[in-house]
Amino acid sequence: MSNSNKPKNVDFGTMERKLREMGVSGSLEHLKASKAVTPKDERVPQELRSTEVMATASSRVVTTNEIEQERQPSDWCNYIFGTLLSIYESTWIKSYGRRPTGRFLDFADSLTEAELMRVMQHCRERLQAGEKWPPIMGELTLLKTQLTESESLEAMNRVINKEPNNQLEKWIMQNKGYELRRLPQSMIVRRFKEFYREAMSLQEKGKLVTELPKGLAQHSVKNLVDLKREEFEQQHGTALDPRIAAILNKGNREQE
């Protein structure tokens, strides 16, 4: 079978005669003597390029791993790792190994002393509840900002007694206190934690408002009379309004 892509032979004699008829004089001997040179394909084969790319990527991975291995934990990181290891012992080693690596390095370096105490309290409470395995890395990051059981109870009592300690508790007292005081004892702690997380979410978004409402809000579970009574009790306690007390005293004197 003939190859259709094969170039045809060129008749240089015929071409030279036609050029002379057109008034062009010159010899085409240099073309006859020359050979068609096929340009050399200098393109790199696809397989070779793929191999080079894979080799480059592998070298980058090796370099990254070497950098990670060269990173040494700080004294604070080693202290945190050892503290949590002393709480969980063998289960901690099975989960995190014998030395801090990877994401734990970043977690430990960002942890303050107060946050460490909170994480430790969370871990102790989890052990007391029967959870023998340590929290995973994502949980550790969350536990440093979440209230422990003891902190939740203290904050809840302050809210119920209308003695908030911060803006979060004040928001719960103003917006969820009515509902909180009417919950059964079995649900109050769980619901309070949900209210606290809701308040934290609003605070992160900059939407936490702790000012008392000026009027009855739509779909409110508290009427305006309750709001005014609570406002008065916060300012004057449970004593009678001075004007009402004066009227009652005047009526008693007239009866006497």
Provide mean pLDDT across the span 189-203. 90
Q: Which residue has the tokens 């709480």?
A: 87
pLDDT at res. 245: 76
Token output for 1: 């079978």
Region of poorest pLDDT, from 22-31, 35-44, 214-223, 226-235: 35-44
36: confidence class by pLDDT, cuts 50, 70, 90: very low
Check pLDDT > 70 for residue 118. yes
With a threshold of 0.75, does the pTM exceed it? no
User: Residue 246: its pLDDT value, please?
Assistant: 79
Helix axes 75-88, 113-128, angle to 10 degrees: 10
Which of the residue ranges 1-5, 137-141, 174-178 would you say has the lowest mean pLDDT?
1-5
Q: Report the alpha-carbon distance of residue 3 to residue 93 in Å, rounded.
A: 71
Share of the chain above pLDDT 90, in %: 34
